[in-house]
Chain A
Amino acid sequence: MTMDRQDIEALLPFLANGTLEGAEKEEVEAALAEDVQLRTELEALRAIRYQMQAEEMEASPGELGLARLMRDIDREAEPVAGSAPQAENVVPISRLRIWQVAAALILAVGIGQAVLTPRGGSVPEAPQQVAEDSAPAAATASREFGLASGAPEAAPRAAFRVIFAADATEAEMRALLLDAGLEIVAGPSAIGFYDLAPIDGADGIEAARSALTDAGPLVETLEDVAD
């Protein structure tokens, strides 16, 4: 095979990175021996490669990323069952994935338990036992949806419950929350529900609702959280 100059130049980066082999390598090296311009270009390419590889890479997600990965794999493996009722302020059920629909039911069980639970008191034994016996996954999800602080009485009151789009990035979510003046007070639940509270209290609710409504496909479902 005889290469023209453009072929030789196209292969120079692969001579620079040491992956060129066989007849191609021999032919490129033969061309280099006769052409100072090619040799100079090869040195420049090696220098660029050196600079790129020597550059200190910023911190990757590392072990935190691995923990997130394991968490999501566990969540994905959790059994889900049943179906969810559709409210007017929830997106059509056809847009939701099966696991999201099932999760809505799980969350409803959790909310029901919370409503039945006197503040600072204990859950009536019998209803809780029935719920946990009939839906252990639901009970698990309900517990996971609790606040990380472990002190729900001190947390701001949630005004909205949302599911972000499955492909929403952390950066997109962060930008939206900052724009809407919201903070996450609970979540994500096992299936992705977040409870959001306006940073400015009740004064910020309407503006926050507008921002969430205007967020388009980034917010997959939006519900008001009743007092």
Chain B
Amino acid sequence: MPRVPGMASDQQQRALMGAIAGGDKQALAALYRALEKPVFRFIRSRLNDPFEAGDILHDVFMEVWRSAGRFEGRSKVQTWIFGIAYRKVIDAHRRRGRLDVTDEFPDTADDSPDAETCLTASEEAEHVRHCLGTLKDDHRAAIAMAFYDDMTYAEIAEVAGVPEGTIKTRVFHAKKLLMRCLEQIMGRRVPA
């Protein structure tokens, strides 16, 4: 995963988790400072409401505080915490009865290779953001973890609690939908 300034290594984060399990609030503060931004961005990528995203971030670290003793060290600390965030966002969607936006993609694949010209203008960041918003939650979450946080498919599978093959399938479909959306918005062709 990419390192951000001040982000502790996984080994350091494991040490922090041990201290948190022992009731060390300063260790929790250090872990929060190390992971707050990527966890918030992950939550925010799946929710439109920044206030709700902030509430969920708070809940995630409250659960880290309460559950640190149950961390078994079989995964990276960040992966474990992303797993908590993943489930809490799903709970938030369920509370609202929110429906997924896009479930299928049009079966009209176009093999014309013209992609390198499609993602060069500054306005394209806005297009990417818009198209991410059209994806259903599990697709968007998979792409967010793959591209925001550079996670492996095994790590994403662990966060989502599904087999690795499921993640490959989700990313495959999410990628198709994303490119199709970009193609439609930009009026150009992106390989699908």
Which residues of A does B touch, CB under 8 Å?
A: 6-7, 9-14, 16-19, 36-37, 40-41, 43-45, 47-49, 51-55, 57-58, 60-62, 65-66, 68-70, 72-73, 167, 169-171, 174
Interface residues of chain B: helix, strand, loop or mixed (majority): helix
Task: Please give, as numbers and ranges, the residues of chain B lying within 8 Å of A40 by CB-CB distance.
Answer: 113-116, 191
| Contact in complex: A44, B57 (CB < 8 Å) | no
B80 at the interface (CB under 8 A from A): no
| Contact in complex: A72, B41 (CB < 8 Å) | no
Known: A44-B179, A57-B41. A65 touches B29 (CB 8 A): no
| Contact in complex: A53, B2 (CB < 8 Å) | yes
Task: Please give, as numbers and ranges, the residues of chain A lying within 8 Å of B168 by CB-CB distance.
Answer: 7, 10-11
Q: In residues 25-78 of chain B, which contact A (Cβ within 8 Å)? A: 25, 28-29, 32-33, 36-37, 40-41, 44, 49-52, 54-55, 57-58, 61-62, 65
B152 at the interface (CB under 8 A from A): yes
B100 at the interface (CB under 8 A from A): no
Task: Please give, as numbers and ranges, the residues of chain B lying within 8 Å of A66 by CB-CB distance.
Answer: 29, 32-33, 36
Task: Please give, as numbers and ranges, the residues of chain A lying within 8 Å of B190 by CB-CB distance.
Answer: 44
Bound together, the chains give a CA A186 to CA B100 distance in angstroms of 39
- Which of chain B's residues has its CB closest to A41's CB? B191
| Contact in complex: A55, B129 (CB < 8 Å) | yes
Task: Please give, as numbers and ranges, the residues of chain B lying within 8 Å of A167 by CB-CB distance.
Answer: 91, 95
Task: Please give, as numbers and ranges, the residues of chain A lying within 8 Å of B116 by CB-CB distance.
Answer: 40, 43-44, 47
| Contact in complex: B146, A13 (CB < 8 Å) | yes
Task: Please give, as numbers and ranges, the residues of chain A lying within 8 Å of B92 by CB-CB distance.
Answer: 169
- Which of chain A's residues has its CB closest to B152's CB? A19
Known: A43-B116, A66-B33. A17 touches B147 (CB 8 A): yes
Bound together, the chains give a CA A14 to CA B153 distance in angstroms of 7
| Contact in complex: A70, B119 (CB < 8 Å) | no
A65's partner among B49, B57, B129 (CB-CB below 8 A) is B57
Min CB distance A110 to B, Å, is 25
| Contact in complex: A19, B151 (CB < 8 Å) | yes
Give the size range of B's interface with the partner: 35 or more
| Contact in complex: A69, B119 (CB < 8 Å) | no
Among A37, A58, A66, A169, chain B packs the most CB atoms within 10 A around the CB of A169
| Contact in complex: A44, B40 (CB < 8 Å) | no
| Contact in complex: B172, A48 (CB < 8 Å) | no
| Contact in complex: A61, B115 (CB < 8 Å) | no
Q: In residues 142-188 of chain B, which contact A (Cβ within 8 Å)? A: 143-144, 146-148, 150-153, 168-169, 171-172, 175, 178-179, 182
20 new A-B contacts, CB < 8 A, other than A13-B147, A65-B54, are: A6-B172, A10-B171, A13-B171, A14-B153, A16-B147, A17-B146, A19-B152, A40-B113, A41-B179, A47-B116, A48-B147, A51-B125, A52-B132, A55-B125, A57-B44, A60-B40, A61-B40, A169-B51, A170-B52, A171-B49
B19 at the interface (CB under 8 A from A): no
Q: In residues 106-126 of chain B, which contact A (Cβ within 8 Å)? A: 111, 113-116, 118-120, 124-125
Known: A44-B190, A52-B148. A170 touches B54 (CB 8 A): yes
